[in-house]
Amino acid sequence: MVDSVRRKLGTRRVGHAGTLDPLATGLLVVAVGPATRFLQYLPLEPKEYVAQITFGKATSTYDLEGEVTQESTVPENLLDAIQETLLAFTGLISQLPPMYSAVKIDGKPLYHYARQGKSIEREPRNVHIEAFDIKVLSSDTVEARIVCSGGTYVRSLAHDLGQAMGCGALLSGLHRTRVGRFSVEEGILVGDATPADLVPLREALLPMPLVPMNEVQVHHVREGRQVGLMEIPAANIVALLDTNGEVFSVARVQGNLLQPECVIPSEAFHAVS
């Protein structure tokens, strides 16, 4: 996808804010040009998905691509069976990353070991499941609306739910509908993307406070120097605006001082103008 955006917009500097599984569809947040420096500051949580979960079968990858590892009878009243188990999969839960994932162990992603038939010891992670709403589609498949923290593996949710119910389950479809304040309805198909569709940083970083700088302050920030203000927003970090009203830095609040953490050099503006 990054390569497609590069070709479409004619620039090499493109980054993304979190991948999707190969079979998944939906929203991918992409930054272009100097904005790639600010991906870490974007409001990217919670994430929202619409998932199809099929019961009665489990696989090595927890989705349709893997080898079948379990086949069992699906409960006759699927919705009731799910509801009896679902409480353990909402709120703050512990989740073990799947072997077929990009989590790195000793510098290599887990899928590297999985493809060699190896199983590596993994550390569980705490993730937060804000919503796990179920709608039955058929006798063995449900559609789930899932709102969760970053780092959550929906494949693992499906697999673990099936294991808890005793019949096995796998992820048979996944569509990401929201990443933080960005929704799929606002998204653009990569084939239709133009420079005019890019969201300015001063909009993308909201609700981060925006603090205007004068010419001298802009110069100091670009040199990595702290700047002081009489009034500073009650926040840990703020976005700094240059004299044209464009974001050129993110700074950390230290008392009545602002310490630049990320700065777009002046030549970067010239390069994209």
Which residues, in sequence order, are CB contacts of 146 under 8 Å at separation 6+?
48, 49, 50, 51, 129, 131, 132, 133, 152, 154, 157
Q: If phi over 0 gives left and psi between -120 and 50 gives alpha, with beta otherwise, what is residue 64?
A: alpha
Among candidate residues 3, 21, 80, 192, the one labeled active-site is 21
The alpha carbon of residue 139 and the mean position of all alpha carbons in its chain are separated, in whole angstroms, by: 32
Q: Where do we find the tokens 């702290």?
A: 226
CB 33 within 8 A of CB 60: no
Instruction: Reply yes or no on whether 21 is catalytic.
Output: yes
Beta strands 237-241; 210-212: pairing state: parallel
Q: What's the maximum distance between 2 C-alpha atoms anywhere in the chain?
A: 71
Indicate which residues carry an active-site annotation.
21
